[in-house]
C-alpha cells in the first residue's frame, strides 16, 4: 500500500509539471500560426480599406433633384436617376441619367440630358458628359460630348464640337455658350469657333 501511495504521488507530481508545459506549447503554436496566416495587423489593413471603399461606393441617393430660380427669374430644375459620392473628392458627386430643364421668363424652354454627369456642390455646376442632348422650344436640337451648366444662373458652356439643327437649318460649331447677356431681355445660344450652317429655306 505504501508503494502504491508513492507511485500515485509521483504520477500526480509529474502531471503537475507536464500539463502546464503542454498548455504553454499549444499556446505558442497557436500564436505562431496566427502570425503566419494573418501576417500581423498591417496585412489586414488593406482588406479593411477595400471594404470601406466598397461601402462608400455603394452609398447612393435615389432620384436626387435640385430646383431654384435664377436672378433673372428663370426656373431651373436638375434631376437624376441616382447619385453616388466621389470617394476622392467630397464636393463632387457622380449622377446617372441627368436631366435639366430651364423655363425662361419669355415662356420658352431649354433642356439638357445625358447618361452621366458630375455635380460640383461648391461651384454649383453640373457637367454633363458623353452623349449630351440639348433642345429648346424655339426649334434647336443640339448634340455634344460635354456641357457644363450653372445650377443657380442661366449659363451653360460646351467647350467642344457641337452639331445639330435649328430653325435656319443644320449647324456645326467648335463651341457654344447659352447665356443671357447683361442688359438683354432674352437668352441666347452663341456659337463660335468655326461655325458652319447649311441653310434650309422655309417652304
Contact, 148 vs 125, CB < 8 A? yes
**CA angle (181, 177, 72) in 5-degree steps:** 40
Max CA pair span of the chain? 131
Does residue 51 register a pLDDT over 90? no
- Provide CB contacts within 8 A for 90, sequence distance 6+: none
The CA R_g of the chain, rounded to the nearest whole Å, is: 35
Higher pLDDT, 202 or 191: 191
Find cell 501511495 and name the residue.
Answer: 5
E strands, 71-174, are 75-79, 82-86, 89-103, 109-120, 125-136, 141-150, 155-158, 162-166, 169-173
Distance CA 101, CA 113 (A): 9
Contact, 133 vs 143, CB < 8 A? yes
Give per-residue pLDDT as tens, 67-115. 999 988 999 999 999 998 888 888 899 999 999 999 999 999 999 999 9
Q: What is this structure's pTM?
A: 0.69
Residue 176 phi/psi, 5-degree rounding, is: -145, 145
**CA angle (20, 26, 29) in 5-degree steps:** 140
Does residue 54 register a pLDDT over 60? no
Per domain, the residue ranges of the chain are 2-58, 61-199
pLDDT band per the 50, 70, 90 thresholds, residue 34: very low
Lowest mean pLDDT segment, chosen from 26-30, 85-89, 105-109, 166-170:
26-30
- Provide CB contacts within 8 A for 189, sequence distance 6+: 136, 140, 142, 176, 177, 178
pLDDT band per the 50, 70, 90 thresholds, residue 37: very low
Give per-residue pLDDT as tens, 109-158. 999 999 999 999 899 999 999 999 999 999 999 999 999 999 999 999 99
> What homologous superfamily does CATH list for 61-199?
Lipopolysaccharide (LPS) transport protein A like domain (2.60.450.10)
Amino acid at each position: 500500500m505504501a508503494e502504491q501511495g508513492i507511485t500515485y504521488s509521483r504520477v500526480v507530481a509529474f502531471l503537475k509539471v507536464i500539463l502546464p508545459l503542454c498548455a504553454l506549447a499549444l499556446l505558442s503554436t497557436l500564436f505562431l500560426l496566427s502570425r503566419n496566416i494573418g501576417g500581423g495587423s498591417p496585412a489586414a489593413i488593406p482588406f479593411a480599406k477595400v471594404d470601406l471603399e466598397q461601402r462608400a461606393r455603394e452609398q447612393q441617393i435615389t432620384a436626387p433633384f435640385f430646383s431654384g430660380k435664377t436672378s433673372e427669374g428663370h426656373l431651373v430644375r436638375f434631376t437624376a436617376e441616382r447619385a453616388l459620392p466621389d470617394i476622392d473628392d467630397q464636393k463632387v458627386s457622380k449622377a446617372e441619367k441627368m436631366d435639366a430643364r430651364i423655363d425662361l421668363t419669355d415662356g420658352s424652354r431649354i433642356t439638357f440630358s445625358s447618361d452621366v454627369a458630375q455635380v460640383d456642390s461648391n461651384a454649383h455646376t453640373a457637367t454633363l458628359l458623353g452623349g449630351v442632348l440639348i433642345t429648346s422650344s424655339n426649334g434647336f436640337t443640339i448634340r455634344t460630348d460635354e456641357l457644363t451648366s450653372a445650377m443657380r444662373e442661366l449659363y451653360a458652356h460646351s467647350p467642344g464640337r457641337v452639331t445639330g439643327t435649328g430653325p435656319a437649318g443644320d449647324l456645326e460649331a467648335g463651341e457654344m455658350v447659352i447665356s443671357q447677356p447683361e442688359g438683354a431681355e432674352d437668352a441666347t445660344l452663341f456659337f463660335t469657333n468655326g461655325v458652319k450652317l447649311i441653310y434650309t429655306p422655309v417652304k
